[in-house]
Amino acid sequence: MTPILTTLAPGLLEAGSRLIDRLVPDPAEREKAKLALLQAEGQLALQEMQTSLSAILAEANSADPWTSRVRPTFLYVIYGVILLCVMGAIMGIWWPTHVFQAAENLNKLLGAVPESLWWLFGAGYLGYTGARSFDKWRGQAR
């Protein structure tokens, strides 16, 4: 099923149901038509689920180790940063001036990065995740 039809399907199915109510006078035939419409909706939902699952499986079975480990690696980096912050706080008990100086230096270092580079990083990261999500939605995960 095409992506545009998948997006429009709920509205089309509702409109189709109303159209059936208006165009089919026989109650038995009307119910048959509505049942066929509901079956089509169920098939559409099944196809969407199969597409999503195939994208997830394709990513998990990828020969490229980076593909299946990019999210966990990012989380490990974040966990490391949190752990360093906790360790810095504990070290601050014995060496408060050193920890304060390190934090001030880090703040100055990050503050020296131009704002436009932070925006570029954010746009690139969001663009990458958006493109990956779009590929998965279309069933073309790599």
| Rounded CA separation 94/114 (Å) | 34
Q: Is the pLDDT of residue 54 over 90?
A: no
- Residue 29: alpha-carbon gap to chain centroid: 42
The percentage of the chain sitting over the pLDDT mark of 90, rounded to a whole number, equals: 9
Beta carbons of 6 and 44 less than 8 angstroms apart: yes
* Range among 20-29, 79-88, 130-139 rated most confident: 79-88
Domain ranges of the chain: 1-61
Alpha helices in the chain (DSSP H): 3-23, 27-60, 65-94, 96-111, 115-138
What would the pLDDT profile of 1-18 be if each residue is shown by its tens digit? 455 555 556 666 677 777
